[in-house]
Amino acid sequence: MIDWAHTRVEIGNLGRVRCEPGWRLEWNDPRFLRDFDLWFVRSGEGEMRLADRTVALRPGVCLWMRPGHTYIGGQNPRNRLGVTFIHFHLRCRGKLGRLPAEVQEVSDFQFFDAATRHIVELIQRAGPGAALRRLEAEELLRSVLIGLDAGGSQPGVSLSATQAEYHRRMRKIVSELLENCGDAASVAELARRTGYSPVHFSRVFKKVTGSLPREFIIQARLARARQLLRESSLSIGEIAGALGYSDVYFFSRQFKTRSGLSPTGFRTYPKTTRGRAK
């Protein structure tokens, strides 16, 4: 599993297309693909030949394409493919870790389609604030990739009963933490809810999400803080208190360490760069 706690995402070329009549993908030279490419089938049907097998393309199938790998694809001319593609780099402090399955089938088509559409729209939107929109898009893509790393399944390959139960319990906990990160329970309480010991809970949580529970909670709180700073008129102190921080100065230091800007700097960033963003 990827070490997401120390990995950031950098987006390259991206778009949403309906493949033209006669379209074929022929990446059979290692020089063709120099970064990762998240390739999501929204509609249509076809097939993709990888180095070791051929997979059917249908709505919901997602390929996490690797640099230097072989991909030769085609489509049914009577049911052309609709695809979202997002090229990206993973920048990791240290070893990246094991990559997830190269071919997956998303569990929630509507969410995945909406999330990847929003990423494309954020990057392609013109006007002031482009740098901040890119930051938002890269954070959203990172969340999407964590979801694939944690819960995606390869078509035709089933999780074991134990693995499926791990994923079911952890997805419930993750959903609770994201919805109410400001009032997150202790690790001991979260473990009690799942019926695991705290040590075993932390081990399983990291296996599923890529982060230890405490780190995940911090990331969730800071992501929510960024949203509140952008979209609300709450003061820095009010945001800190709402997200479970008893010390606003500690919140500000943690925010700056993880985000590169102070909360005030983050809130005023679009104004200070107005007219310079491309």
- The 10 Å Cβ neighbour count of residue 106 is 23
pLDDT digits (tens, 9 = 90+) for 129-181: 888 889 989 988 998 898 888 764 443 344 455 555 666 677 678 777 877 78
What is residue 185's DSSP assignment?
P
Class level of CATH domain 4-158: mainly beta
Q: Which CATH superfamily is domain 160-278 in?
A: Homeodomain-like (1.10.10.60)
Name the pLDDT band for 251 (thresholds 50, 70, 90). very high
Residue span(s) of the chain under CATH 1.10.10.60 come to 160-278
Residue 73 buriedness (CB in 10 A; 0-12 / 13-18 / 19+): buried
Q: Which two tokens stand for residue 29?
A: 């030279």
pLDDT digits (tens, 9 = 90+) for 31-86: 788 899 999 999 999 999 998 889 999 988 999 999 989 999 999 999 999 999 99
130-151 vs 161-179: helix axis angle to the nearest 10?
Answer: 150
CB 184 within 8 A of CB 242: no
SS (H, E, C) 28-43: CCCCCCCCEEEEEEEE
Least confident range of 19-23, 110-114, 157-161, 221-225: 157-161
Residue span(s) of the chain under CATH 2.60.120.280 come to 4-158
